[in-house]
Structure 1
Amino acid sequence: MLKKFFIICSGADTDILDNCAIGEQNKFAGIGATVFFTAVMAFIACSYALYTVFDNALAAICFGFIWGLLIFNLDRFIVSTIKKRNNSIDEIIQASPRIILAVIIAIVISKPLELKIFEKEINQVLLEQKNDLTIANQNQIAAQFTPNVDALSSEILNLHSQIATKETEVNALYDIYITEAEGTAGTNLLGKGPVYKEKRDKHDAALAELQQLKADNKTKIAATENQITQLNSNYDAQVATTQPIIDGFDGLMARINTLGELPFLPSLFILLLFLAIETSPIFAKLMSPKGEYDYKLEDAETAVKTWVEQKISERKILLKTDQKLNNRIYNDIAEDDDIYTYKLKKARELIQLQADSFFKHQKNVL
């Protein structure tokens, strides 16, 4: 039963092959098995590739099954259309388009399986790329907010600097009026005289200005800090919004590009393996000697071809014969006096009828 199934997969004519030797049947069963298992590998490869795209196992399996049937049909067509010739050059020319198609199919099948085989290495490279993208993304977003944050921070420092400058001024005025009271500076008179009072009032006025400046700057600093907090919140929100895009950077194209960054030799060996599997049925038919099945198939095809050519030749001869007979018949009729007399009579009657009709028409007009 399994042998029969593989023979069907090979695309061979089962009616002819059933009458061939067991060895001939086994050869085509082996070719059919290669075609079948190539389609199975295509199904697995396509299902995995589509799963990385859709993240849906059912959809991936359905599309992968359709793809496997397509590859099976193509391989079966390729193998079944290769005919054994009496000239090796003709066989190679006949098989060259099919070999090119087989190479394309092998490449398409091997890539998804390479992605699965080297999945851990690809994930490692993708992780490094994601980290680089995350840092670059954060730097790009920070470039939008950093100038504003720096300007606001400079504004806060400026407000603190105003307070510090005013405090220094108030402390200096405090030292002036204290030393005036002690008599160690200014008028050098001990006690609280008019000069002391003037300097004390000046200090008190500056102290009141300092208190007002602290209150005003405190409000401004709080408002500025709120702006900085809002900018930082906006920065965090934008980073959080864009990060999922980077986290999702592991689709099929990204993995294929990452595969290209891995060492080339392992991928080459896998590709060569699938090339060998895909092209083996073709080369097996090319290299194998002309067997019993090939002779019987050629006999059946040439018999049909001969029969068709014979029918076409007979129709051409029949057509030529019929034309010659018709020519002779009509030539003999042309020499017949009775036919001539009869046609002359009918022509005379027709001319008379035409003349009468014309006369009646002209009479009605007048």
Structure 2
Amino acid sequence: MLKQFFIICSGSDTDILEQCSKGEQNKYAGIGATVFFTAFMAFIAASYALYTVFDNIYTSVFFGLIWGLLIFNLDRYIVSTIKKTGNVLDELIQATPRILLAVIIAVVISKPLELKIFEKEINQVLLEQKNDLTLANQNQIAKQFNPDIDNLNNDISGLQQQIAAKEAEVNTLYDTYIAEAEGTAGTKLLGKGPVYKEKRDKHDALLAELQQLKEENKAKIADSESQIAKLKGDYQTQVISTQPIINNFDGLMARVNALGKLPWLPSLFIFLLFLAIETSPIFAKLLSPKGAYDFKLEDQETAIKTNVLQNKKQREVMIKTDFTINDRIYSDLENDDELYTYKRTKVRELMQLQADAFYKQQQDIL
């Protein structure tokens, strides 16, 4: 049962193969098994590749099955169309387009399996790329908010510097009137005289200005700080909203690009393995000697071809003979008086009818 299934997979004529030896049948069963398992590997590879795209196992398996059947049909067609002619050069020329197609199929099958085999290494490359993208994204978003935040921080620093400068001026006046009272500076008279009172009043007035400045600048600083907090909140919100896009940066194209960053030698070996599997049925037919199946198939095809050529030639002769006979018949009838008289009568009647019809038409017009 299994052997019969693999023979069907090889694309050979089962009726002819049943008349051949067991060895011949086993050869084509082996070719069919290679075709089947190649299609099965294509099904697995396509299902995994599509799962990275759709993220749905049922959809991936469905389209993967369609792809596997397509590869199976192509391989079966490639193997079944290679005919053994006994001429190595003719067979090689005949197989060259099919070998090129097999190479393309091997690339398509091997690439998704490479993605699965090197999944851990690919994930590491993708993690590094995601980290780089995260930092680049944060820096890019920060460029939108940092200028406003820096301007607000500069405003706060300016307001704080105004307070510090006013405090320094108040402290200087405080030291001045204290020194006047102690007699260590100014008039150098000990006690609280008119000069002391003047300096004290100036200090108190400036101190009142300082208090008012602190209250005004405090409100301005609080407003600037609230704007800075809002900008930082907007920054964080935008970073959080864009991060899922980076986290989902693991699709099929990203994985293929990540695979390209890994050492190429392991990927080459996997590709060569699938290339050998894909082309093995073709080379098996090319390298194997012309067997009983090939002779029987050639005999059947040449018999049909001979029959078609004979029928075609016979039809050509029949047509040529029929033309010759027709020419002789019409040539003999050319001088037949009875036929001439009959045809002359009919033509005369036809012309009379045409004349009557024309006369009636003209009469209706008038």
TM-score w.r.t. length of structure 2: 0.95
**Which residues of 2 match residues 1-366 of structure 1 at below 5 A?**
1-347=1-347
Q: In the superposition, relative to structure 1, how do residues 340 and 288 fare at CA in structure 2: closer, same or farther (>3 Å)?
A: same
How many Å separate the matches in 1 of 2:293 and 2:356? 82
How many Å separate the matches in 1 of 2:315 and 2:74? 39
Name the stretch that deviates more: 266-275 or 130-139: 130-139
Q: In the superposition, relative to structure 1, how do residues 139 and 360 fare at CA in structure 2: closer, same or farther (>3 Å)?
A: closer
- CA deviation after TM superposition for structure 1 residue 351, in Å: 5.8
Name the stretch that deviates more: 191-200 or 338-347: 338-347
- CA deviation after TM superposition for structure 1 residue 285, in Å: 0.7
- CA deviation after TM superposition for structure 1 residue 57, in Å: 0.9
Name the stretch that deviates more: 138-147 or 209-218: 138-147
How many Å separate the matches in 2 of 1:141 and 1:180? 59
- CA deviation after TM superposition for structure 1 residue 119, in Å: 0.7
- CA deviation after TM superposition for structure 1 residue 209, in Å: 0.6
- CA deviation after TM superposition for structure 1 residue 359, in Å: 7.7
Q: Secondary structure of 1:226's match?
A: helix
Name the stretch that deviates more: 190-199 or 46-55: 190-199
- CA deviation after TM superposition for structure 1 residue 360, in Å: 8.0
How big is each residue's C-alpha offset from its partner over 1:176-225, in whole Å with a ceiling of 9 and x where there is no partner? Answer: 11222222222222222222211111111011111111111111111111
Name the stretch that deviates more: 181-190 or 36-45: 181-190
Amino-acid identity (%)? 72
How big is each residue's C-alpha offset from its partner over 1:264-291, in whole Å with a ceiling of 9 and x where there is no partner? Answer: 1110110011011001101111111111
How many Å separate the matches in 2 of 1:75 and 1:362? 78
- CA deviation after TM superposition for structure 1 residue 343, in Å: 3.7
- CA deviation after TM superposition for structure 1 residue 109, in Å: 0.3
Which amino acid in 2 is paired with 1:332? D
How many Å separate the matches in 2 of 1:54 and 1:5? 33
How many Å separate the matches in 2 of 1:10 and 1:31? 6
Name the stretch that deviates more: 46-55 or 149-158: 149-158
CA RMSD of aligned residues (A): 2.0
| Structure 2 spans left out of the alignment, 5+ residues | none
Q: In the superposition, relative to structure 1, how do residues 18 and 171 fare at CA in structure 2: closer, same or farther (>3 Å)?
A: same
Which amino acid in 2 is paired with 1:265? L
Which amino acid in 1 is paired with 2:211? Q
Which amino acid in 2 is paired with 1:218? K
How many Å separate the matches in 1 of 2:43 and 2:359? 90
Which amino acid in 1 is paired with 2:235? Y
TM-score w.r.t. length of structure 1: 0.95
Which amino acid in 2 is paired with 1:3? K
How many Å separate the matches in 2 of 1:27 and 1:281? 10
Q: In the superposition, relative to structure 1, how do residues 184 and 326 fare at CA in structure 2: closer, same or farther (>3 Å)?
A: same
How many Å separate the matches in 1 of 2:360 and 2:165? 135
- CA deviation after TM superposition for structure 1 residue 352, in Å: 6.3
Q: Secondary structure of 1:302's match?
A: helix
How many Å separate the matches in 2 of 1:216 and 1:353? 122
How many Å separate the matches in 2 of 1:226 and 1:37? 68
- CA deviation after TM superposition for structure 1 residue 262, in Å: 0.8
- CA deviation after TM superposition for structure 1 residue 228, in Å: 1.3
- CA deviation after TM superposition for structure 1 residue 304, in Å: 1.0
| Structure 1 spans left out of the alignment, 5+ residues | none
How many Å separate the matches in 1 of 2:359 and 2:179? 157
- CA deviation after TM superposition for structure 1 residue 348, in Å: 5.3
Q: Secondary structure of 2:197's match?
A: helix
Q: In the superposition, relative to structure 1, how do residues 2 and 339 fare at CA in structure 2: closer, same or farther (>3 Å)?
A: same
Q: Secondary structure of 1:83's match?
A: coil
- CA deviation after TM superposition for structure 1 residue 339, in Å: 2.8
How big is each residue's C-alpha offset from its partner over 1:25-48, in whole Å with a ceiling of 9 and x where there is no partner? Answer: 000000000000000000000000
How many Å separate the matches in 2 of 1:159 and 1:291? 100
Q: In the superposition, relative to structure 1, how do residues 168 and 354 fare at CA in structure 2: closer, same or farther (>3 Å)?
A: closer
How many residues are treated as equivalent by the alignment?
A: 366
How many Å separate the matches in 2 of 1:210 and 1:348? 136
How many Å separate the matches in 1 of 2:73 and 2:37? 12
- CA deviation after TM superposition for structure 1 residue 7, in Å: 0.2
Name the stretch that deviates more: 347-356 or 113-122: 347-356
Name the stretch that deviates more: 2-11 or 85-94: 85-94
- CA deviation after TM superposition for structure 1 residue 86, in Å: 3.1
Which amino acid in 2 is paired with 1:145? F
Q: Secondary structure of 1:198's match?
A: helix
Name the stretch that deviates more: 100-109 or 305-314: 305-314
Which amino acid in 2 is paired with 1:308? V
- CA deviation after TM superposition for structure 1 residue 342, in Å: 3.7
